[in-house]
Amino acid sequence: MYNIVDANIVSKILGLLETKGKDLQYGNENVTQLEHALQCAELAEKKNFSPEVITAALLHDIGHLLYDGKDPIYQGKDGYHEELGADYLSEFYGEEVIRPIRAHVDCKRYLSAVEEEYYSLLSEASKISLDAQGGPFTKEEAEEFIKKPHMKEAVELRRLDDEAKILNKKTPNLFHFKHYLEESLKN
């Protein structure tokens, strides 16, 4: 049952996206963290993904908003934002939300290893961050990775992530996605 504690958690998460995300550039892309999150969530919703995947799409980069200082990726270092974000959200959300968030960087490494054309579709900023994040998986790493639970959803999230970088794209606002965050909370 949804209660006041749940409402506070969802409000806190949305507040973080609203306040920090609206001014923070998404890597070296032309959109802010908030715009990127909203575009990802809208794409997931249009593809009729589950509430958990839509929640993961909205929150997958929340780790970028949790650093005390500047995001290490700006210095060409991997700050493991996916781990930071997944750990932060794991108190409130189950594996259906957390695993795709935790794996979305490795999905870029996976897709770069198994699909020849994938790397060429990445933005320049994504190519630079891929290098900082360890580069493409080896064939063996890719084979092991995709066998893990929820990796199919994580790969789908990655594809949304790659598409959600359109300057000045109109999307629904955060409130539109609030019910997905509420529905996806742990019981």
Q: Give residue for tokens 């580069």.
A: 135
**Whose CA is closest to 98, among 55, 43, 40?**
55
Instruction: Give the per-residue pLDDT at 67.
Output: 75
Q: What average pLDDT does the segment 71-83 reach? A: 68
To the question of pTM greater than 0.75 for the whole model, the response is yes
In terms of Cβ atoms closer than 10 Å to its own Cβ (0-12, 13-18, 19+), residue 93 is buried
Instruction: Give the per-residue pLDDT at 124.
Output: 84
Instruction: Compute the Cα dihedral for 152, 126, 116, 139 and give only its sign.
Output: negative
Per-residue pLDDT tens over the stretch 80-139: 788 999 999 999 999 999 999 999 989 999 999 999 899 999 888 888 889 888 999 999
Q: What burial letters (b/e) apply to 102-116, b meaning 16+ CB within 10 Å?
A: bbbbbbbbbbbbbee
Q: What Å distances lie between residue 31 and 25, 71, 111, 170, CA to CA? A: 6, 16, 23, 12
According to DSSP, the residues that pair with 25 across neighbouring strands are 32
Distance (Å, whole) CA 157 – CA 100: 7
Looking at the structure of the chain, the number of domains it has is 1
CATH number of the CATH domain containing 26: 1.10.3210.10
DSSP string, 112-127: HHH-TTHHHHS-HHHH
Distance (Å, whole) CA 161 – CA 27: 12
Distance (Å, whole) CA 161 – CA 20: 19
**Whose CA is closest to 55, among 186, 183, 187?**
183
Task: Please answer whether residues 59 and 97 qualify as being in contact, where contact means their C-beta atoms are separated by less than 8 angstroms.
Answer: yes
Whether the pLDDT of residue 3 is over 90: the answer is no
Average pLDDT, the chain: 89
- Could you list the residue range(s) of the whole structural domain that residue 138 is in? 4-183
Whether the pLDDT of residue 69 is over 60: the answer is yes
Structure tokens at 175: 């409130």
